[in-house]
Homo-oligomer: A and B are copies of this chain.
Amino acid sequence: MEKYIHPEALLGNEVTIGRYTVIEKGAVIGDGCKIGHHVIIHRDSKIGENVRIDDNAVIGKLPMAAKRSKITKAGRTLNPVVIGSDSIIGTGAIVYAGSQIRKGVLIADTASIREDVTIGEYTIIGRNATIENKVTIGERCKIQTNVYICAYSEIGDDCFIAPCAATSNDNYTGRWKERTKYYRGVTVRNGGRIAVNATILPGKVIHSDGMAAAGSVVTKDIPGGVIVCGNPARKLYEVPENQLLKNQEDWLS
């Protein structure tokens, strides 16, 4: 037998499914989906129409709880993952149960989307990016290769986060018993940007159209429309007019 589809999975019309793919009980696959080889779709996952899922992707994974984890709790009941129509899930990508992926999203190869995450329409999540649990990402964002978005972060609409950018949420760096009360992810407001390999400290806010330059280490909030650079990051200059979000006539195309 070259693929496994549970008899209680529900497949739409004109769905193609590759070899050795596993579709578990209660999964729902919309019309026109193209599913590669060796894909694993766990129980009750809901996939919209015309979704492309590439080889080795895993959809609807249940969290693993280390005994010593302070964020992930075992035994929780998560809602099934929902993947919107016209989305694309890359090779080896992992999307956990309990996440909501809206319409037209691209999640590239080997990226990971943890539980309790929402990703807005037409957002792109780059290769091997990690979106930790309890994160909200808006519409039309580009989160590029290897980006690390820590738990409890909020990313607005039309944000751009360049490759290898890293975020953090624990001002106590894993120590002090009260620290979990103070976990604060990063906030990037609409149109905020983070350039390649920048580092954002816990709880910092990048206001609308603010930007962290390449390799910067951001220890203070970034005001709207300001570019900061350096370690620690300081104001470099104002964002040029032609890079302001309001002037992106091509942005919705």
Residue ranges of A at the interface with B (Cβ–Cβ < 8 Å):
1-2, 4, 18-20, 22, 36-38, 40, 52, 54-56, 58, 61, 64, 66-69, 88, 90-92, 94, 104, 106, 108-110, 112, 122, 124, 127-128, 130, 132, 140, 142, 145-146, 148, 150, 160, 162-164, 166-168, 170, 172-178, 193, 195-197, 199, 201, 211, 214-217, 219, 229-232, 240, 242-245, 247-250, 253
B109 near A127 (CB under 8 angstroms)? no
Count identical subunits in the complex.
3
Cα distance, A110 to B68, chains bound together (Å): 20
A195 near B168 (CB under 8 angstroms)? yes
- Across the interface, A4 reaches (CB within 8 A) one of B19, B52, B124, B214, namely B19
A108 near B4 (CB under 8 angstroms)? no
- Across the interface, A231 reaches (CB within 8 A) one of B20, B164, B231, namely B231
A56 near B58 (CB under 8 angstroms)? yes
B19 near A175 (CB under 8 angstroms)? no
Cα distance, A56 to B221, chains bound together (Å): 41
B109 near A112 (CB under 8 angstroms)? yes
A122 near B160 (CB under 8 angstroms)? no
Q: A19-B22, A90-B64 are in contact. Are A142 and B193 (CB under 8 A)?
A: no
B92 near A92 (CB under 8 angstroms)? yes
B177 near A249 (CB under 8 angstroms)? yes
Q: Known pairs A199-B215, A217-B231; list 16 more (Cβ under 8 Å).
A: A1-B1, A20-B22, A20-B38, A52-B64, A54-B61, A54-B64, A58-B91, A66-B88, A92-B94, A109-B112, A130-B146, A162-B174, A175-B244, A177-B248, A197-B197, A214-B219
In angstroms, how far is the closest chain B Cβ from the Cβ of A33? 14
Interface of A is mostly: loop
Q: A38-B20, A56-B56, A92-B94 are in contact. Are A173 and B64 (CB under 8 A)?
A: no
In angstroms, how far is the closest chain B Cβ from the Cβ of A26? 16
Q: Which residues of B contact A199 (CB under 8 A)?
A: 164, 196-197, 214-215
Nearest residue (CB) in B for A209 is B175
Q: Which residues of B contact A253 (CB under 8 A)?
A: 68
Which 4 A-B pairs have CB atoms at the shortest separation, nearest pair first? A215-B217, A160-B174, A199-B215, A66-B106
Q: Which residues of B contact A244 (CB under 8 A)?
A: 175
Q: Which residues of B contact A109 (CB under 8 A)?
A: 94, 112
Cα distance, A159 to B176, chains bound together (Å): 14
Q: Which residues of B contact A150 (CB under 8 A)?
A: 163
